[in-house]
């Protein structure tokens, strides 16, 4: 259950909760909560993680963006490398992929380099697969069953060892392909997403608040749901 302390989880939250802006607090929270990993950007990892090395596994996020620009052509630029992750003693690397964005050609090219480096260093690759862009919004939206299913399959086919997606909403059918224009239950939707991810492990977060701790389905134990954030 890795906690993601990314660029979009930072300064904007300071006034609502000053503790969130303290990376040391976030790492201590992960320790106290028994988290099995924490995802940090390279600057925070270099400045804070050494105080907790060996106590909680590190997932080094290799790319990131702010939430200031529009998501119309979303792209999360690389600002760290797999070699940085090895140097910092990370257990895995993370990459955010915006499926459906007009900038996905650049996104795919960045991910290819990360995947090749991760394989060379023997480092697991976690892909945050998030649908973005006008084409996505015209086909049910970023958390529709169609979009989430497509994102999981895309990350799997591009070489992710684990993919993180948002919980699919099968009721969002406006503009989606015909195969998704049926009454699916949430359980049917998530099981379909698991099948689309095939042998790639699936990590799910979303608005289903009853999942306040990790839980595994009986479908090959290949996905778990974590609280939003």
Q: Which two tokens stand for residue 61?
A: 């996020």
Q: Is 164 a catalytic residue?
A: yes
Q: Which two tokens stand for residue 28?
A: 């201590």
Dihedral angle, C-alpha 169, 171, 174, 179, nearest 10 °: 90
Given 61, 164, 172, 180, which residue is catalytic? 164
For 170-194, letters b (16+ CB in 10 Å) and e give bebbebbeeebeeebeeeebbbbbb
**Nearest 5°: CA angle at 21, between 17 and 22?**
115
Integer Cα distance of 211 and 71 in angstroms: 28
Question: How many CA within 13 A on the CB side of residue 172?
Answer: 18
Q: Is 65 a catalytic residue?
A: no
Given 3, 98, 130, 180, which residue is catalytic? 130
Catalytically annotated residues: 130, 164
């Amino acid at each position: 259950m890795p906690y993601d302390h990314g660029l979009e989880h930072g300064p904007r939250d300071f006034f609502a909760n000053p503790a969130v802006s303290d990376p040391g607090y976030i790492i201590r929270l992960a320790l106290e909560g028994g988290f099995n990993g924490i995802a940090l950007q390279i600057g925070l990892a270099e400045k804070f993680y050494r105080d907790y090395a060996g106590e909680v596994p590190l997932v080094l996020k290799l790319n990131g963006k702010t939430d200031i620009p529009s998501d119309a052509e979303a792209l999360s630029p690389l600002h760290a490398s797999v070699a940085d992750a090895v140097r910092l003693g990370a257990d895995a690397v993370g990459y955010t992929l915006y499926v459906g964005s007009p900038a996905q050609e650049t996104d795919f090219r960045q991910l290819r380099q990360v995947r090749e480096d991760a394989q060379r260093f023997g480092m697991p690759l976690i892909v945050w697969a998030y649908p973005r862009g006008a084409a996505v919004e015209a086909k049910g939206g970023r958390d529709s069953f169609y979009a989430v299913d497509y994102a999981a399959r895309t990350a799997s086919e591009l070489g992710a060892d684990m993919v993180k997606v948002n919980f699919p909403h099968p009721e969002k059918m406006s503009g989606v392909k015909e195969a998704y224009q049926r009454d699916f239950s949430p359980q049917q939707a998530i099981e379909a997403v698991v099948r689309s991810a095939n042998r790639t492990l699936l990590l799910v977060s979303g608005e289903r608040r009853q999942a306040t701790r990790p839980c595994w389905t009986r479908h090959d134990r290949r996905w778990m749901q974590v609280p939003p954030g």
